[in-house]
Amino acid sequence: MTGTPLVSTGPSSTSLRALQRQLAALMPDAMSPGMAGEGPPLETLTQTADLPRLIGATGIESRILRARTVPPGPCFEFSAFLDGTQESRVLQYTESLPIIRGVVAAVIRVRRNRRLATWRHDVQTRVYAPRALFSREVNAALSTLAVAVVDTTAGADVDTHAGEHPFAVRDAAIHKVQEDRERAEHMLAERWCNLVHEPLFVDGGISANEKVARENCIVGIVKSHRTLYAEGDGVQTVLRLKERERTTVFRVTSPKRTTVASWYLRLRDPAGRDPMWGLVRVETAEPEVATEVEIRDRADEISRSILAEVVPLSLPDARWDKMVYGIRDCEEFLRAVM
């Protein structure tokens, strides 16, 4: 295993200022960048979160969603941790619409002698622009940039009417950046499966990629709960989980995603906290043929392995109740290379 990157973009020609200078030279009559590029990333300004919702799920360990204490027993050590990040900023407003620079990065950090080291990482820079809304001259200028340009108006699900609103252009770009970040994470996970095939802790769900979702060595940890996979009494079952308790295993399905096995797990004592404190949802490959006992034992083993990662604490991160140190280490690495 080596620490060489999968992809490395040249920062001298793809930095924010370098791309702004290229655009200014190519389109000297375009609107001045003004506040473009300044302030926080666009991800902090855009409200793209899904509305809270409840979705019923089919139980595969028990017909009814129940709480179970994770019993003592054998566990395994995760060999590596995977995380990704993204950052989007406006390069310039042209014809009153934003042209956006997006950077995505992903990394796998492996354990070596009780320390973490980089196995592979990937950093990619692209420009995101509504090409269908721009003139021929603007599109010609974009095509000469020293970076790939993503058309945010391409795709069957694009609302071309609302797309003329500058905020709609911005939101569409951030969505494309997110897709590219997920793609970078999935490529690293696939490569890990092909070359190493040891336990990999993934920050986030795994169902968006079929190959990753079917690999038994990969465990996805979901920390946000805008969607709760429970209905009726099952909602209280999830929210009242105690430390080191989990729900029974259920099946998560979606028309656009691969079916996975999942369950909720409480990492830390929620006493005096909100109901989501220390709560994560685990995703693993759905067992093809397994008895209820085998499903239970596998969920218990994975849960014990996750619980073993809660020390050391991920302080001073504000999300330390749901985050393990290996993922915090990934985030620190990614901040350094972005």
Across residues 192-221, what is the average pLDDT? 96
Q: Which residues contact 213 (CB under 8 A, 6 or more apart)?
A: 206, 207, 257, 258, 259, 260, 283, 285
Q: What does the domain layout of the chain look like in residue ranges?
A: 11-337
CB 187, CB 194: distance < 8 Å: no
Does the reported pTM lie above 0.75?
Answer: yes
Phi/psi at 47 (5° precision): -95, 90
pLDDT of 30 reads 65
pLDDT digits (tens, 9 = 90+) for 230-274: 999 999 999 999 999 999 999 999 888 999 999 999 999 999 999
What pLDDT score does 6 carry? 42
Return the structure tokens found at 20.
Answer: 């702004």
Q: What is the mean pLDDT of residues 110-116?
A: 91
Q: What contacts 200, CB < 8 A, 6 or more positions away?
A: 78, 79, 80, 81, 82, 108, 189, 192, 193, 217, 218, 219
**Listed range (12-26, 72-86, 233-247) with the worst mean pLDDT:** 12-26
Please state, rounded to an integer, the average pLDDT across all residues of the chain. Answer: 89
Given pLDDT bands bounded at 50, 70 and 90, which one contains residue 311? confident
pLDDT at 113: 86
Q: Rounded to whole angstroms, how far apart are CA atoms 159 and 10?
A: 34
Which has more confidence, 107 or 155? 107
